[in-house]
Amino acid sequence: MKLTLNVWRQSGPNAPGKMVRYDMPGVNEDMSFLEMLDVLNESLIVKGEEPVTFEHDCREGICGSCGFMINGKAHGGFPKTTVCQLHMRHFKDGEELFIEPWRASAFPLVKDLMVDRSAFDRIIQAGGYISVPTGSAPDGNAIPIPKSNADRAMDAAACIGCGACVASCPNASASLFTAAKVAHLNLLPQGQPEKFDRALRMVTAMNEELFGSCTNMQECEATCPKGISIENIAILNRHFVEASFSERPATAEVGAG
């Protein structure tokens, strides 16, 4: 099949960028989208041009490295699919595709389709952890967990941090990412000691990173490669406000401890 690609080319963070047109004859429908870009890059290298920079690692849809906009939808907008797991058979022969990097103040562009998502790392550092005794391994079934909580926590934990939620959000909000991380740990008994601190710290970190606010439009859920529900954002909002009202300093007024 034959495709026309319009790819965002930008040589560096402060360089001017523009859409560049590439004709792609002979695209195999069994290729993944990234393999199609590999073929494009090989042809660019042969011509002595700079290949298109894009992030990728596992190419199994589980690492969260890859991702860009295809025709205005994050990862192309196919249900529960990353671009590495998106196959060319989903496109029509002769189709024109627009490929752009994630756009957000919090995700500064590095080169071409690659953005710096370390803002996510700083949100995780703020509260994406639990306190556990080190040493001997705890007994597997020592802590009872309701099945529905375990399921919901697992669904939230499926987040791979690819950034599609931020990219597809009209406000470049990181609410779904932060909500998935908070809900994942706050729904489990192991996450209870830091439950409110986590909500406060992660939301504060999210605010410091220039992300926008949530307007409940559900664009994030639609393009999330793990199908994470905005129900998690409701959980985040609830826990955050509860935490804001109930927070108190750790002091021992009546001689406790």
Partner 1 sequence: MASTAVANSKLHQSLALYQTAIGKKYVVAVTGAILFFFTIGHMLGNLQIYLPNAQEALANYAKLLHASAELLWAVRLGLLSCFVLHVVTIAQLYNLNRAARPQGYVRKTPTLSTYASRTMYLSGPILFFFVLYHLSHLTLGSTHPRYVEMDPYHNLVIGFRQPLASLFYVIAMSMLGLHLTHGVWSMFQSMGLNHPKYRNLLRNFATISAAALSIGNISIPVCVLLGIIGKDLV
Which residues would be at the binding site for partner 1 (CB under 8 A)? 6, 8, 19, 69, 71-73, 77, 98, 100, 103-106, 168, 170-173, 203-204, 207, 210-219, 221-223, 230-231, 233-241, 244-245, 247, 249
CB nearer to partner 1: pick between 18 and 58: 18
Closest by CA to 37, choosing from 47, 51, 48, 25, is 51
Closest by CA to 22, choosing from 107, 133, 99, is 99
Contact, 179 vs 232, CB < 8 A? yes
CB nearer to partner 1: pick between 51 and 108: 108
CB nearer to partner 1: pick between 7 and 159: 7
Nearest distance, CB of residue 168 and partner 1, angstroms? 7
Q: Which residues contact 220 (CB under 8 A, 6 or more apart)?
A: 164, 165, 166, 168, 169, 173, 175, 176, 228, 230
Nearest distance, CB of residue 173 and partner 1, angstroms? 7
CB nearer to partner 1: pick between 66 and 109: 109
Nearest distance, CB of residue 74 and partner 1, angstroms? 9
Question: How far apart are the C-alpha atoms of 109 and 119, rounded to whole Å?
Answer: 13
Would you give the DSSP letter of residue 53? P
CB nearer to partner 1: pick between 19 and 143: 19
- Exposed, middle or buried, 220 (CB in 10 Å: 0-12/13-18/19+)? buried
- Exposed, middle or buried, 228 (CB in 10 Å: 0-12/13-18/19+)? buried
Nearest distance, CB of residue 106 and partner 1, angstroms? 7
Nearest distance, CB of residue 247 and partner 1, angstroms? 7
